[in-house]
Amino acid sequence: MSFRWKLFLSYISLSLLIAGGGFGYVNHLLEQRLLDESRLNLQQQAKLAKLLVEQQKELPPQKLAHKLGAAIKSRVTLIAADGRVLGESDLRDDQLSGIENHLMRPEVQQALKTGSGSAIRYSETVRATMLYVALPVASGQAAVLRLALPLESFDAAKENLHGLLGGTLIALLIISLILSVIFSKITARPLREIADAAARIGIGERGVRVPTGKGEEIDYLARVLNEMAARIEDQMHKLTSEQQRLAAILRGMGEGVMVTDTQGAIILVNPAFRKQFGLPGEVEGRPLVEVCRHPDLLQAFEEQRESGDEVTCEITIPATNLVLMAHWVPLSGEHGKRGTVAVFHDISDMKRIETMRRDFVANVSHELRTPVAVIKGYAETLLDGALEDVPERGRHFVSIIAGHAERLTSLINDILTLSKLEARDAALALHPLDLCGTIRKAQMLMEDHARTKGIRLTAACPESIPKVLADQGQLEQVLLNLLDNAIKYTPDGGDIAIRTRQENKRVVIEVSDTGIGIPPKDLKRIFERFYRVDEGRSREQGGTGLGLAIVKHIVQLHGGEIAVTSEAGKGSTFTVTLPAA
């Protein structure tokens, strides 16, 4: 039920209560007043009749009663001192003997004792309710004069009075009904406005205020509600800002974040977590065991939930080769309940770098072991007297030592070069460079080496090729390394070609050969350090296994890209893409 109807019903109930109480009180008051007036009038008539009785003592009581009754229009009874009825205006003479003694009537006793008496009771003689008034008289026979008035006329007056009061009451109720409707509407309007404003505030609508000027109490309520609305808006603004800040932080975090409740249902995840575990669609509100079935993840979650302590573990995702460091922390909630916050750090690069470091140390150790062992062995042989015993063999041994020493020097130089290129502060002297001139210089430097194997080395560089933004020395090293590899792995009488072209704002350099080629399984690893397709043949050619790794780092430092296509037995093509100046 609406407040307006409650207010209307309260008005009506109050009106009915007041009207009913007023009707009863006024009705009782008027009835009592009417009765008192009737008794007073009857007493006045009795006094008048008393005078007539005392003046006309000589008349018989019955005749006197008839005469008085006809004169004053009331029932007149003359009663002797012993209670016998001597005269009755409403009875015949022959009926007097049948009337019982009236000595013990209340009004008679009261008149004899106090000089005046009255009573209301049902009369068996006339069979009606009567109002009696009695006075003592000084007469020869009668001692008490009693007048009686039937109350039927009084009842008619009461009915008329009731009708008047009832009509007035109905009119008042109708007016009260109309006024209740009006007043309830007037009273409920500001309250309804306040309720509507509170509802709008409750759903988060901003700028809602309740107008004042509707009365002291309503204005006080409106001010309180307006202050509350202002505080709620301020809190909502702060909460929204905090939520936006938190969402921005979670979106920008590289670490995956997951929050669960005590039952294991996911409350919050960030995009990094979805990406790490490959979770499409909505996951909030779903159990963790339903969203992700990774055994290490579920085991760590159960361990943390059972122990209630922080848990740290590594999780490997084979599908994407991700290695995650997971940090599980308990989250306190309402009534001491706990949830869980998990942060997943991607340590794949760190693991990969650690693996590369171990591989690098192992590869360097392996590469250094052979020349060092050879140099040590031949040096010891020479120290044992081989140099004096057989001078020709001694010179041969020295040449072998010199060759391996040269190989060690090349290996150390390449390692140092690669270390400088991988350093964080590695910088290049970039200048607009004539690419065609650099290619012709590299061709000239490698032409003698190619000629010894009967290899044709050609270069095609159109004049329209724009300059590139590059470091002269580093770009020459890229070209020389690629040409050196091509010459090493191209059989005698083969061909090596350098071609250039422009693609949009980039310049493409291709170095193609007709050598032994690279098997498909080795193409992805060809730029790794110390990786060789044919280790025995590479070492025979004097390679260190670092040339292509150096080339890759130099090209990447220039903001370029390097790729290779090859077919075993038919040759390879290395493609270098550099930004134009």
- What are the DSSP calls for 190-253, one per residue? HHHHHHHHHHHHHTT-SS------S-HHHHHHHHHHHHHHHHHHHHHHHHHHHHHHHHHHHHH-
Among candidate residues 433, 318, 419, the one with its CA nearest the CA of residue 364? 419
pLDDT tens digits, one per residue of 134-144 = 888 876 677 78
- Residues 159 and 151: their CA atoms lie apart, in Å, by 12
Exposure of 318 in the CB half-sphere (CA atoms within 13 A)? 3
The arithmetic mean of pLDDT across residues 28-56, rounded, is 77
Among candidate residues 464, 455, 457, the one with its CA nearest the CA of residue 436? 464
pLDDT band at 536 (very low <50, low <70, confident <90, very high): very low
Helix or strand (DSSP H, E) at 442: helix 435-452
Instruction: Note the pTM of the prediction, 2 decimals.
Output: 0.44
| Phi, psi (deg, nearest 5) at residue 142 | -80, 140
Burial class (CB in 10 A: 0-12, 13-18, 19+), 180: buried
The SS3 call for residue 39 is: helix
Q: How far is CA 227 from CA 75, 208, 280, 337, in A?
A: 81, 11, 45, 34
Rounded to the nearest integer, the mean pLDDT of the chain is 78
The better pLDDT of the pair 39, 511 is held by 511
CA angle 53, 56, 61 (to 5 degrees): 65
The SS3 call for residue 278 is: coil
The answer on pLDDT for 169 being more than 80 is no
The SS3 call for residue 187 is: helix
The answer on pLDDT for 151 being more than 80 is no
Segments making up each domain of the chain, as ranges: 3-157, 253-426, 427-579
Other Cβ atoms closer than 10 A to 44: 13
Buried-state track 248-272, b at ≥16 Cβ within 10 A, e below 16:
eebeeeebbbbbbbeebbbebbbeb
pLDDT band at 322 (very low <50, low <70, confident <90, very high): confident
Helix or strand (DSSP H, E) at 468: strand 468-470
Helix or strand (DSSP H, E) at 402: helix 391-422
Kindly indicate whether the domain formed by 253-426 is annotated with CATH number 3.30.450.20.
yes
The arithmetic mean of pLDDT across residues 249-278, rounded, is 82
pLDDT band at 99 (very low <50, low <70, confident <90, very high): confident
Among candidate residues 513, 251, 555, the one with its CA nearest the CA of residue 428? 555
Fold annotation for 427-579: Heat Shock Protein 90 (3.30.565)
Other Cβ atoms closer than 10 A to 483: 25
Per CATH, 3-157 and 253-426 having the same topology is answered yes
User: What is the per-residue pLDDT for 337?
Assistant: 57
The answer on pLDDT for 466 being more than 70 is yes
User: What is the per-residue pLDDT for 335?
Assistant: 53
The answer on pLDDT for 230 being more than 60 is yes
Q: How far is CA 540 from CA 193, 255, 403, 545, in A?
A: 96, 48, 12, 12
Helix pair angle (391-422, 547-557), 10° resolution: 30
Relative to beta strand 322-332, strand 311-317 is antiparallel
The arithmetic mean of pLDDT across residues 369-390, rounded, is 71
The residue length of the chain stands at 581
The helix/strand count (H/E) of the chain reads as 15, 17
Q: Give the rounded distance of the alpha carbon of 281 from its chain centre.
A: 19
- Residues 506 and 306: their CA atoms lie apart, in Å, by 59
The answer on pLDDT for 285 being more than 70 is yes
Relative to beta strand 266-269, strand 311-317 is unpaired
Looking at the domain that runs over 3-157, which CATH code has it been given?
3.30.450.20
pLDDT tens digits, one per residue of 388-430 = 665 666 777 778 778 777 777 766 776 676 666 666 556 677 8
DSSP E strands: which ranges in 275-358?
311-317, 322-332, 338-346
Burial class (CB in 10 A: 0-12, 13-18, 19+), 324: buried
- Residues 311 and 309: their CA atoms lie apart, in Å, by 6
Check if the beta carbon of residue 77 is closer than 8 Å to that of residue 88: yes
Exposure of 92 in the CB half-sphere (CA atoms within 13 A)? 2
Residue 105 DSSP one-character state: -
pLDDT band at 537 (very low <50, low <70, confident <90, very high): very low
The arithmetic mean of pLDDT across residues 253-266, rounded, is 83
pLDDT tens digits, one per residue of 476-510 = 888 888 888 888 888 888 999 999 998 888 899 99
Ranked by mean pLDDT, which of 48-52, 123-127, 542-546 comes out on top? Answer: 48-52
The answer on pLDDT for 451 being more than 80 is yes
The percentage of residues in the chain with a pLDDT greater than 70, rounded to a whole number, is 83
